[in-house]
Amino acid sequence: MPRQDLGRGANMKVLVTTTGRYCSSLIKIDLHKLAMQHSETLLPQVLHSVNTADRSYIAFVADPQLPTMYHNGCEFLANTMLFSSIHTEHHRRMTGACRLGTMTLSRTDLALASRALIPGGEWIDSGGGQIAARAP
């Protein structure tokens, strides 16, 4: 099912991978430079997304007690922040219920904000792929 309302500047498709009652919720806060959201789903699913705007995003697991999630084939752990570049394609597999938080910023604003988020470093958006940084 195509879901263009899930993210600011992203096109997403969701495939639920099991039977059962599907339920999802999305809370969005959209400010001038910053957009934040919290999403929750109850069934396992695969999500395909393409960032279409000139915005980068940070994603993090909002509930570490829930089953494992995989991002582009790599385990996405609860103590990890995912930094993503603009115009990139992503595949995310949720093995069960999922709660995820995200925020999007312009490339410049995210580079500035990353100084506070990454101990001893700054994330430089080179325009490709994604970088996962462990939280302290």
Both tokens of residue 28?
């969005």
119 near 136, Cβ under 8 Å?
yes
24 near 41, Cβ under 8 Å?
yes
Distances (CA, A) of 64 to 24, 69, 110: 18, 10, 24
Share of the chain above pLDDT 90, in %: 15
Give me the chain's average pLDDT, please: 78
Residue 8, pLDDT score: 57
Domains parsed from the chain with CATH numbers:
2-134 (2.60.120.10)
Tens-place pLDDT, residues 19-52: 999 888 888 888 888 888 898 989 999 989 887 7
Residue 4's Cα: distance from chain center in Å?
14
Tens-place pLDDT, residues 86-109: 778 888 899 999 998 988 888 778
Global pTM value: 0.74
pLDDT at 6 over 70: no
117 near 58, Cβ under 8 Å?
yes
* Rounded Cα gap, residues 26 and 3, in angstroms: 12
Mean pLDDT over 124-135 rounds to 54
CA-nearest of 131, 94, 97, 87 to 111 is: 131
Distances (CA, A) of 18 to 51, 70, 119: 26, 17, 39
Mean pLDDT over 57-65 rounds to 85
pLDDT at 130 over 80: no
Residue 44, pLDDT score: 93
